Amino acid sequence: MKKENVPQDMGALGKITKEVCYATDSSGKYVKELSSGWNVKTDALDVAWKDVDERIAKAREKVLNNEASPLLFFMEYRLMDLSILSDYTGFWKWQIKRHLDPEVFKRLSEKKLQKYAEAFNVKADDIKTMTVHEA
C-alpha cells in the first residue's frame, strides 16, 4: 500500500491513539505511517465483540437456569478458557470443569472461591451474584 493510501477512517480509538502501518513512499521504500483507523477493521471488531456479548448472555442464562455455575459467566466475561483460568488459579482443568457444575460450586470453600475472585478481579460474593463492577 502506498503511503498516501493508508486508511484514515475514524476508528474506535481514533481520537485516543493511532495505529502504525507500513506503506511504501514515492521511492518504493517501506516507511511507517500512522492511521487513525479503517472502517473494515472497525466493522470486523464490532462483529467479534457482538459474538462475545452473545456468549456472555448465553452463559448468564445457563447460570440462571441452574445449568452451570457462575464461573462460566465470568470465564466468558473475562475471555478466559479452561487453560487460562487454570494458569491463574492453580486448579487443574478437570477441577474447574467440576466447579462449573452448580451443585459442586455451591460447596466450594471460601479459599477456593477467593482464588477464582482474584483471577476474575472481583470480590468472592460478586461471583455468586454475577455482579461486575467496572471502573
Chain segment 10-42, per-residue pLDDT in tens: 766 667 778 888 999 999 999 998 887 778 888
pLDDT at 132 over 90: no
Chain segment 43-91, per-residue pLDDT in tens: 888 899 999 999 999 999 999 999 999 999 999 999 999 999 999 999 9
pTM for this entry: 0.77
**Is 78 within 8 Å of 132 (Cβ atoms)?**
no
Q: What domains does the chain contain, in order, with CATH numbers?
A: 3-37 (no CATH), 41-129 (1.10.260)
